[in-house]
Structure 1
């Protein structure tokens, strides 16, 4: 799965000021990120506000992306949930033509045991026609995919990698030390991309790369090439912006940054609200 090395961008879902999906802005975002040099696109992740995007809207977003991107870069599609049977049915019912892999976040709210997480992901991997990327994001799901659990799941032939967003460096190192050579380790935290690549990771699925695709993908490629001096310089230039992207919730900040560049509106769906004037002004200064 070398095509998923480097920078993947967890795309926002653009909305009009009245709240409908903005497919014209969606195409601008696809062009903006591809022209910025990212290696692949991730559709229907949490940054895409997947909990508040309807099934028919998700179908339209994937269809338009598949047709408009036309093979320029690989596509990864998010399918997850806390009802294993329902996720299996989604995997079977979704037209996944043109998609390279599935990204599936751990079940939220149920707080399953490690054995439950293993069983959940094994069911998904058995049912999926496409390779599966695990996604560990305890701050959102309320449960953590432990290192031993990841390494156990890595033995499944249809589970090809992990997006790791626990922020626990010791856990990351345990996975990197024990994983199979062909198992993808992708950072889920933009600011940890460089150190995790230095320890054997293959890239990042990034929020910031929506708004700064060129600088972020250049940083990731420099790290993968072993040019850590250049990667460090680029990373440090991004550090001040990073907390502002999450200060009022994700993707509130990154949509404000995109709006300032004319890519899409800052609109989000309730219970999120658009960035405040103060936050937008601080983001503008850094951009």
Structure 2
């Protein structure tokens, strides 16, 4: 009899345990002992579409989802950094999860449920679970960053994992938070039965390799947080990536992982090199405004950001076009 049932969502039953990961990823797979939520594959942290008046453009979300659903994506991250979650109300955040779930049936829905307080994070996580999320991607609290010691962060994540009705994926994004989850903290947290992985956006391949090595034999999966280092992360044992560029170039980012899985490393290396410039443009260089502008160019709806973020100026638009020159020609 299967044990350790963690959650029954609108679409999946999720278990904690060891399993065999299929190449396609993003599924709940049968293994020799138990079943597990398999995170293998590529996930876009989807942009939240806004109308000109900054209300959520629900019709545009549905249109984007209909196009992404045709790609070989393993699933979606709703309300990652690129979803402008910090500009959304609680009600909007929960409704977005429900909407994305209603627009896809065969892909995983990960939700960014992190809040500044532990109590609010627990509440948000479980309300998103009720809305249909398969797992919660929980960012490090950062407002009082000087007090976010290893002990404080460890207690925060353990409390969330204890209370969460869905599996928890840790989220370390030091460029935005100023906090990098230390390897020793992650390794301790990985022992919790409801913490199943980490999205690491720091880009330190040594760290990613250390996390994979240190959790060998456990049901813990590492996801690269950017397409710029997806291939090297896969080489050292990551199972996939949550990549902003997959919003715009989902076919190419998924192809990169496929080439790696097929051991076509020369082709994979070439594609990885080609993706670095556009990925850098829509992340550390031009951010969400750049990502949304590129969505508009590639047949999706990007639209405006919520203020105070501003649209690209002319020089930035030219910079973005240069970065995407290979794919715009």
Give TM-score scaled by structure 1 length.
Answer: 0.94
What is aligned with 1:53? 88
* Deviates most, 25-34 or 41-50: 25-34
Shift of 1:275: 1.8
Unpaired stretches in structure 1, ≥5 consecutive residues:
none
Equivalent positions of 1:72-111 (< 5 A) are 72-111=106-145
* Deviates most, 125-134 or 184-193: 184-193
Residues in 1 aligned to 2:266 and 2:58: alpha-carbon distance in whole angstroms: 39
Unpaired stretches in structure 2, ≥5 consecutive residues:
1-35
1:63 equivalent in alignment to 2:98: yes
Specify which structure has the bigger relative contact order, considering alpha-carbon pairs within 8 angstroms and separated by 6 or more residues.
1
Equivalent positions of 1:140-159 (< 5 A) are 140-159=176-195
Residues in 2 aligned to 1:262 and 1:200: alpha-carbon distance in whole angstroms: 33
Counterpart among 261, 283, 295 of residue 224 in structure 1: 261
Equivalent positions of 1:1-287 (< 5 A) are 1=36, 3-69=38-104, 71-111=105-145, 112-181=148-217, 182-246=219-283, 249-285=286-322, 286=325, 287=328
Shift of 1:230: 2.1
Residues in 2 aligned to 1:236 and 1:166: alpha-carbon distance in whole angstroms: 19
* Deviates most, 17-26 or 209-218: 17-26
* Deviates most, 86-95 or 57-66: 86-95
Give TM-score scaled by structure 2 length.
Answer: 0.82
Deviations 1:150-198 (A, max 9, x none): 0100000000000011222222222121113321100012211100100
Q: SS where residue 75 of structure 1 aligns?
A: strand
Shift of 1:66: 1.4
Q: SS where residue 103 of structure 2 aligns?
A: helix
Distance 1:39 1:191, change over 3 A: same
Superposed structure 1 runs of 4+ greater than 4 Å apart: none
Distance 1:59 1:97, change over 3 A: closer
RMSD: 1.7
Distance 1:29 1:138, change over 3 A: same
